[in-house]
Structure 1
Amino acid sequence: MLKVIRMNPIPYSMMFLTVLLSACLQQEDTQITLIKSLTKKGQSPVIQGDTAFFFYTGNAKNASIVGDFTGWQPKSMQKIIGSNIHYHTEVFQPEARLEYKLIIDNSWKTDPLNDDSCITDLGFNSEVKMPEYLEPEWIYEDEETPGGALYQFNLESKIFGKTRPVAVYLPSGFEKEAEYPVLIVHDGLDYVRRGRAQLQLDNLIHKQVIVPVVVLFVSPQERTREYRDDLKADYVRFIEEELLPYAVSQYNIKEKKDVRGVMGSSYGGHISLYSAVRYPDKYKYVAPFSPYVSIEVLESLRGSNSWKKIYLLHGTYDHLDKIHSSVASLNQLFQSMDNYTYVEEPEAHNYYFWRKHFAEVLKYFYGDC
């Protein structure tokens, strides 16, 4: 189990301080050239050992940094007197991957010296990847990998009185007479779009890392109410009484018994746990990622031990206190159970973290199914 060591910013090494001070007397173009030479062809931050050095050079009255490692609360960058260079240092674990932005005179922007960025619901963030961070292995296209079929459609729901967006994944070579494990993925269309779920499934199945599996990707329409509050019972009924029967009938799916899985992130983790409590004879594999858990569901989990496998994922840089407390409660509860896996890594509350472990859950659930 990984643990993050948080430390206060430390001073630059003498070499960095000397170089930065010498830059104070230079013209702006020279400063930019110097900083870029330090940051390996424009890549920022500079990483030495476990320390990341962030820079901003430009005319700014105020410069701050904000990100996963600040709890998304601004931290002022220090300015070298007589120059337009601002800097900030942080100490991270060698496996960390974190997102951040700069705030320059109240304007939020990506780091102009950092070519690494990622897309979020609110635009682009800059990324810092420490030297031992491992990129997800299964998210890249392989020309030799045959693709499974992904059917996206709106299903009419009598329970909700309206249509709902869903998707069904059938593996390459799907046979109507064969039995397949079924996995339910909450916030499913986000996992398809942002988690590269179909590509990961195709690669893992083609390489025979997992057995062929059928996946139902389900997305909410009123997320908080359906995943946490007053509509959660209707939501899981919709899956059990409407979506699953429709998929079985429409695509001639024969579900393999006692290996149905369910997974989701954040509130999606909550509804995954709730589903397993509500239908303990149906859901045998459960994977909550960075989950919130209510007292109601937590109490229902106590004494339950009907599941075959549990995979709990937590990012130590999660900015939500309720996630940390939920994970701590779940970890304490699950420790006495057989076939329980707890993974804690120096990352945060986002799909770039979760998509890496989508493949790990598939291997854990269906690598030996």
Structure 2
Amino acid sequence: MWIKCFKFFLFRKSLFLFSVLMTVVLDAQITFKIVELPRNTNQNPKLFLASNLNNWNPNDSQFEFKKDSEGSLILTIPTPSQKVEYKITQGNWETAEDSPNRTLEVSNSSKTVELKIQNWTQPKEKKHTAASNVKILSENFKIPQLNTTRKIWIYLPPDYEKSNKKYPVIYMHDGQNLFDEFTSFSGEWSVDETLNEIFSETGESAIVIGIDNGGETRLAEYSPWNNEKYKTKGEGNLYLEFLTKNLKPYIDKTYRTQKQASKTLVMGSSMGGLISLYASVKYPTVFGKAGIFSPAFWFVSKDLKAYLNKNKSNLKNSKFYFVAGKNEDETMAPEIETVNESLLKKSVPEKNIVVKIDEDGTHSENYWKRELKQALIWLLK
């Protein structure tokens, strides 16, 4: 009898230890502690961790360092399930730490990471770089669905004023970063210079409509679904309702456009890549082609997969161009491949999909700028 009791005791003890270990794993945390700052740092700096965990937001309040009881600047987050790439910023990219991205391999145990920041980047004098055929369509175009307004840019082809031609239209997100270095936060795409170059070589071009992002509301507006972890209420459907019911009708009425879906493109990067894919799947009779650069599919991965599986849209005439780099988040390429397989299952012809994964590709405007010309030439065919 005592043997049975002893075995039962050992079983209960093992079960208890297992539960304790599981609790430790589930509650594991990473604490980032800043132990050294450059001499030119403000006396009471506001510092943030920008990373692949928060879509590289340089001033995310959920990733702001706070002083502990000893006066040290610390940030504690739950241990993520993926490798972390990150940088420390002072709230913007112009004054982030002047060094390559940091990386952190995660484990199931809690840890403290001590950070020494050697230098901050020095703000460079920005210049206006937009070409003469780029204009501001409106500083405050109304978005009734979101009860707000937004700055809208327009690029007109070099021969627009000299011809009666109608043109394809490209709708692009993050308008601040498309044409003008002065308004960009980490470099511009040079969309205008790229299209002017394509025109000089081929005579082909397109109208581009750039919609500024909403800053603090960017994650919400570019996500079709909620994300509880980042306390984001998805407003992507409202944003797309604005594009399809308000902005596109206005553009088609005001400018000489080719209105059909095969001549209407949607393009963006990161969260803009996510909403571009979603727009082309939800509204294939509006957006017939999509340029999807380094998409943040991870932000709503489960919802996106479920949506693609159940969506009944006819996509046999749609075209998709994916770009990403191996120096981005390690889930980037696999997520794109999963979406690619879903599109093929939905009868999208293989010839209508390009997936370009570059060994040296990074999550940056410079990389997207480099890849833009090749993408536009294919999408405008």
| TM-score normalised by the chain length of structure 2 | 0.56
**Are the structure 2 counterparts of residues 105 and 163 from structure 1 closer, same or farther at C-alpha, using a change threshold of 3 Å?**
closer
Q: Partner residue of 1:78? A: none
Q: Partner residue of 1:166? A: 152
CA distance in 1, matches of 2:275, 2:316: 17
1:225 and 2:210 correspond: no
Q: Partner residue of 1:360? A: 374
Alpha-carbon offset, residue 123 of structure 1: 6.5
Mapping of residues 39-188 of structure 1, within 5 Å: 72=85, 100=100, 106-109=116-119, 148-153=133-138, 154-175=140-161, 177-188=164-175
Task: Give the SS at the match of 1:192.
Answer: coil
1:277 and 2:281 correspond: yes
Higher helix share: 2
**Are the structure 2 counterparts of residues 299 and 109 from structure 1 closer, same or farther at C-alpha, using a change threshold of 3 Å?**
same
1:304-341 superposed Cα distances (whole Å, 9 cap, x missing partner): 523432111111110x3453442231233345632211
**Are the structure 2 counterparts of residues 207 and 100 from structure 1 closer, same or farther at C-alpha, using a change threshold of 3 Å?**
same
Task: Give the SS at the match of 1:349.
Answer: coil
CA distance in 1, matches of 2:200, 2:192: 12
Q: Is the 8 A contact 2:169 2:257 kept in 1?
A: no
Q: Partner residue of 2:256? A: 253
Q: Is the 8 A contact 2:152 2:211 kept in 1?
A: yes
Q: Is the 8 A contact 2:279 2:287 kept in 1?
A: yes
1:23-73 superposed Cα distances (whole Å, 9 cap, x missing partner): xxxxxxxxxxxxxxxxxxxxxxxxxxxxxxxxxxxxxxxxxxxxxxx9546
Higher strand share: 1
CA distance in 1, matches of 2:115, 2:171: 45
Q: Partner residue of 1:348? A: 362
Alpha-carbon offset, residue 353 of structure 1: 0.9
Q: Partner residue of 2:245? A: 241
Amino acid at match of 2:274: H
1:277-315 superposed Cα distances (whole Å, 9 cap, x missing partner): 221111111121111223333333346523432111111
Q: Partner residue of 2:325? A: 315
Q: Is the 8 A contact 1:284 1:306 kept in 2?
A: no
CA distance in 2, matches of 1:219, 1:275: 17
Alpha-carbon offset, residue 245 of structure 1: 2.2
Q: Is the 8 A contact 2:86 2:101 kept in 1?
A: no
**Are the structure 2 counterparts of residues 244 and 105 from structure 1 closer, same or farther at C-alpha, using a change threshold of 3 Å?**
closer
Q: Partner residue of 2:199? A: 205
**Are the structure 2 counterparts of residues 306 and 201 from structure 1 closer, same or farther at C-alpha, using a change threshold of 3 Å?**
same
Task: Give the SS at the match of 1:180.
Answer: coil
CA distance in 2, matches of 1:151, 1:354: 23
Structure 1 unaligned segments of length 5 or more: list them: 1-69, 75-98, 111-118, 125-140
CA distance in 2, matches of 1:328, 1:157: 34
**Are the structure 2 counterparts of residues 123 and 275 from structure 1 closer, same or farther at C-alpha, using a change threshold of 3 Å?**
farther
1:305 and 2:315 correspond: yes
CA distance in 2, matches of 1:271, 1:311: 14
Q: Partner residue of 1:195? A: 189
CA distance in 2, matches of 1:178, 1:236: 27
CA distance in 2, matches of 1:195, 1:241: 27
Alpha-carbon offset, residue 102 of structure 1: 9.0
Q: Is the 8 A contact 1:281 1:306 kept in 2?
A: no
- Asked which structure has the greater RCO (Cα within 8 Å, sep 6+), the reply is 1
Q: Is the 8 A contact 1:101 1:109 kept in 2?
A: no
Q: Partner residue of 1:331? A: 340
Amino acid at match of 1:199: E
CA distance in 1, matches of 2:344, 2:145: 37
Deviates more, 1:334-343 or 1:193-202: 334-343
Structure 2 unaligned segments of length 5 or more: list them: 1-82, 88-98, 104-113, 181-187, 226-233
**Are the structure 2 counterparts of residues 348 and 161 from structure 1 closer, same or farther at C-alpha, using a change threshold of 3 Å?**
same
Q: Is the 8 A contact 1:262 1:287 kept in 2?
A: yes
CA distance in 1, matches of 2:275, 2:376: 19
Task: Give the SS at the match of 1:236.
Answer: helix
CA distance in 2, matches of 1:300, 1:307: 19
Alpha-carbon offset, residue 196 of structure 1: 1.1
**Are the structure 2 counterparts of residues 149 and 351 from structure 1 closer, same or farther at C-alpha, using a change threshold of 3 Å?**
closer
CA distance in 2, matches of 1:249, 1:284: 19
Two-structure CA RMSD over aligned residues (Å): 3.1
1:61-98 superposed Cα distances (whole Å, 9 cap, x missing partner): xxxxxxxxx95469xxxxxxxxxxxxxxxxxxxxxxxx
- Paired residue total: 241
